[in-house]
Amino acid sequence: MSAEKPAPAETKSRIEFQKAPEEIRELIKAVLQEERAVMHMKTRPDIYKNILQHVKRLVQ
Amino acid sequence: MILEKLIIENFRQFRGKQEILFSTVPNRNVTLVHAENGFGKTALLNALLWGFYGHEGLTEDLPRKEVLIHEGTAARSRNPASTSAKVTILFTHDTEKYRLERELTLEQQKLDAKKTDLVLEMNKDGMPMTERHPRERIQALMPFGISEFLFFNGERIDHLAMEENAALITDAIRQMLGLNLLQAGIVDLRHQSVLGKLRAELRDRTSAEKAAKIDEQARVDDDITEWGKRKETNQKNLLATDAELATVNSKLELNREAHHLQLRRNDLEKQEQGFVERLTATTKRLGQIVAEDSYALFAGDLVKRGREIVDKLRNEGKIPARVLNSFLNELLESHRCICKRHLDDGSAERKAVEELMHYAGDQQFNNAVGALDNALGRIEEGAEHTRRSLQAINGERLKISDDLKAVREELAQISHKITGKDDEEAHKLEETRVKLSLKQRELLAEQVKNDLKLEEFQKRREGLRKEIQDIIDSEADAQKAQRRLSAVEESSNLLQRILDIETKELRPVLNQDIDEHFRKIIGVGYWAELSDDFKLKIMKRLDVSDADSDAVKSLETEVALSQGQRQVTSLVFIASLVALARRRSEIPTIIKGLTGSEYPMVMDSPFGQLSQFRPGVARWIPELAPQVIIFVSSSQFEGDVATELKKSKRIGKRYYLAYHGPNIQPDAKRELEIGKNSVTVYFEEKDEFTEICELET
């Protein structure tokens, strides 16, 4: 028998995040994913264009 | 990131192709490389740094950075295009496997050694995929900013524990724990190319009035950013001044001449603070009473006039109504009185009842008269109560003002007394204190101004938002544009809140970790503190005897650290941060990449200045970091370090560097006794090169 690993406690920031409407949560995830891919590049002209597209896709 | 293997080829003194397999087993997470001074420890550290970051990553103490290819190999080369130095690193990061290869040909070295070829492959589903932007990808996995915390010369890291490097520490914390991503997300959303563009779209679709308000909103946003920056700078200055003032106060407490006066001042300053708080509360209470109840004081004439009218009506018998008009109406409609007489039309009896209608009133009128009587009474009572309350609270306010004045006068006298002392140090400290207090007051005034300005702008922004919302026209496009704008604003505000929560929660955890680990390694007497603005401080308790009463008072004071103590402090900080980053990687968060991660600690000669702290470092650092790679000379290793590492059973892989060359440094040994092994590490010969040799563990 092996003891089950306890589920990690919810963090305050996750609770705060979960309180937001789904539209906002999805937008934040999309923005952070875009930023994560390019955050160390010196030039990154597409990021703002991509974020705008996410905004227009998610908020109708 | 966990390092798996390093392959080096003709890099500095490493001739040909050689490799080191790092231990990746969690409970045997230490890889030891024994090397005498001058045999290639620093070159090995630099091979890793060059692999990840190229020329930019090479350490300051590496001489002749433009010569990276093994000199003998380069001298014998007939084809500079096919002779090269190459470093290959195999590693895993967040369960993904990577292979990195950096190469510099002799031909390129002669032109510009900073330009190298870099290939990064990620293994996806068993297939190697070449990264299109290898440099950026490496930066994303392990930003250059944190490399000096992970790959370092142990004898040169003591600077991290110095106060002036707080910014470096803050940045490392934010980078290693993934908070920079949140900050970057906020900046992205608020960028002119996102928020600005959405505003422009909204303006194009709306009326001129709304367009003007949107323009004003953008200007108010700029003002908020500007004043926010001012506030931040002011807060930093205020914190620094508070810290300086606290130091001066501690020194004054320790000064024999000023000791008593300073203690009295501390007491008075606490009293002063209490009086100021009470004065503020009392003044607020006074204002509240004036705003809510003072009308009663000014309503005397009105109440008097009301009374006169009511009395007149009462004297005339008009109030309260003795007979109700509804009752008379019922009699007239039924044509019969309560005395049974008929009330026929035109009869004298009916006329008599109709006459009564002049005096009759209704029930509501009666009720209103009662309520008016009651209200007039309450206003009269209220006026008296308000008068008494105002007198009492104002008396209290004046008393507190007097007490505050007395405390402030005594504080001024204390300052004069200390300034007047013959003691040069006390005199100078007091002068500094006066200057700092004035500066602190200016900064506090500035802070209030900044807060008021920000509040004003934020109110205006909120007002504008409501105004814009109010005049949103019915066009579908405009509404959609408004929704998008609101979503972006809401998202950036939420990200800011999350960043604030994360930063606020992580500091005490890191603080506790650092202190716990510091106490284990340094021992009794000292403790570590990470201040609100991430300054690393080592504190101790000092017992000061009171010359008059013989009482002993305990003071907390900051320790002036030796180089060795600073080195330990820095090591403990790095290890705690690395441990926290690993723990944080196990906590679920809103998006992958926002968490921390596992990082190795690669240390060249970490035991140099540590003296009595060596055993603690050797024992505890491998417990904290997921992977520890140590390059160590025999003089630093033998004794306590060897004993502790052996006891810990954490050594997973072990190598030594064998040096071939015409001569060696005077302190370097030719033979090493490592555990049960006796190995020759120096071979005298004309050609110079270093070999990596594995030892059984």
DSSP for B362-417, written as a single string: -HHHHHHHHHHHHHHHHHHHHHHHHHHHHHHHHHHHHHHHHHHHHHHHHHHHHHHH
Residue B191, pLDDT above cutoff 70: yes
Per-residue pLDDT at A2: 38
Question: What backbone torsions phi and psi does residue B16 show, to the nearest 5 degrees?
Answer: 70, -165
- The CA distance from B430 to the nearest CA of chain A, in Å, is 45
Q: What is the pTM of this model?
A: 0.62
Q: Give B517→chain A minimum CA distance, Å.
A: 24
DSSP state string for B618-668: HHHHHHHSSEEEEEE-HHHHTTHHHHHHHHHT-EEEEEEEEEEES---TT-
- Give contacts of A22 with chain B, Cβ < 8 Å: none
DSSP B160: G
- The residue of chain A nearest to residue B131, with distances taken between CA atoms, is A37
- Alpha-carbon distance of B185 to A20, in angstroms, equals 17
Note whether B484 contacts A38, CB cutoff 8 Å: no
Q: Looking at beta carbons, which residues of chain A come within 8 Å of B197?
A: 48, 52
Q: Quick one: pLDDT band at residue B409, thresholds 50, 70, 90?
A: very high
More confidently predicted of B454 and B589: B454
Residues B691, B18 contacting (CB under 8 angstroms): yes
Identify whether B666 is preceded by a cis peptide bond (ω within 30 of 0): no
- Residues of B with a Cβ under 8 Å from any A Cβ are 133, 136, 139-140, 143, 180-182, 184-185, 188-189, 191, 193-194, 197-198, 480, 483-484, 487-488, 490-491, 494-495, 497-498, 501-502, 505, 586-591, 593-594
The answer on pLDDT for A4 being more than 50 is no
Contact check, Cβ <8 Å, B488/A55: yes
Which residues of chain A does B180 touch, with a Cβ-Cβ cutoff of 8 Å? Answer: 39
CATH for B2-142+599-695, among 3.40.50.360, 3.40.50.300, 3.30.365.10, 3.40.50.720? Answer: 3.40.50.300
Q: Residues near B671 by Cβ (< 8 Å), separated by ≥ 6?
A: B678, B679, B680, B681
pLDDT digits (tens, 9 = 90+) for A25-40: 999 999 988 888 787 7
CB pair distance less than 8 Å for A32 and B593: yes
Side chain identity at B145, as an amino acid letter? G
Contact call for residues B83 and B73 (beta carbons, < 8 A): yes
* Residue B501 reports pLDDT greater than 60: yes
Instruction: Summarize the confidence of residues B84-92 as an average pLDDT.
Output: 96
Q: Which of residues 1-60 of A touch B (CB under 8 A)?
A: 8, 10-14, 16-17, 20, 23-25, 27-29, 31-41, 47-49, 51-52, 55-56, 58-60
DSSP 8-state code for residue B193: I
Query: ipTM, 2 decimals?
Result: 0.90
Q: Which residues of B touch A39 (CB under 8 A)?
A: 139-140, 180-181, 184
Mean pLDDT computed over B457-469: 88
Which of B393-397, B502-506, B547-551 shows the lowest mean pLDDT across its residues?
A: B547-551
What is the tens place of the pLDDT at every residue in B434-454? 899 989 989 998 998 999 999
Collect all residues of chain A within an 8 Å Cβ-Cβ radius of residue B590. 13-14, 17, 25, 28-29, 32
pLDDT of residue B664: 83
Task: List phi, psi (to 5°) of B31.
Answer: -110, 125
Q: Which residues of B471-499 are buried (b: 16+ CB within 10 A; e: fewer)?
A: eeeeeeebebbbbbbbbbbbbbebbbebb
Residue B256 has pLDDT above 80, yes or no: yes
Q: How confident is the model at residue B50 (pLDDT cuts 50, 70, 90)?
A: very high
Cα nearest neighbour of A55 on chain B: B484
* d(C-alpha B605, C-alpha B608), whole Å: 6
Q: What is the number of CB-based contacts under 8 A between chain A and chain B?
A: 107
Residue A1 pLDDT: 35
Lookup: tokens for B83: 């002779």
Average pLDDT of the residues in B365-371: 78
- Cα–Cα distance list, B425 to B239, B266, B420, B440, B555 (Å): 24, 19, 12, 22, 19
- Whether B606 shows a pLDDT value over 50: the answer reads yes
Q: Where are the domains of chain A?
A: 12-58
| Record: contact A32-B181, CB cut-off 8 A | yes
Q: What pLDDT, on the 0 to 100 scale, is given for residue B341?
A: 85
Question: Å from A60 to nearest chain B CA?
Answer: 6
Tell which wins on pLDDT, B518 or B477. Answer: B518
Phi first, then psi: give them for residue B696, nearest 5 degrees.
-75, 140
pLDDT digits (tens, 9 = 90+) for B613-645: 788 888 888 988 899 999 998 888 888 888 888
> Which residues make beta-bridge pairs with B7?
B19, B88
Cα atoms in the 13 Å half-sphere on the side-chain side of B627: 23
Give the CA distances from residue B516 to residues B527, B531, B641, in Å, rounded to whole numbers and listed in that order. 8, 15, 21
What three-state secondary structure class fits B159? helix
From chain B, the residues in CB contact with A48 under 8 A are 188, 191, 193-194, 197
Top residue of B135, B590, B592 to mutate, by most chain A CBs within 10 Å, is: B590
Q: Which residue of A has its CA nearest to B180?
A: A39
B165 burial (CB, 10 Å; 0-12 / 13-18 / 19+) is: middle
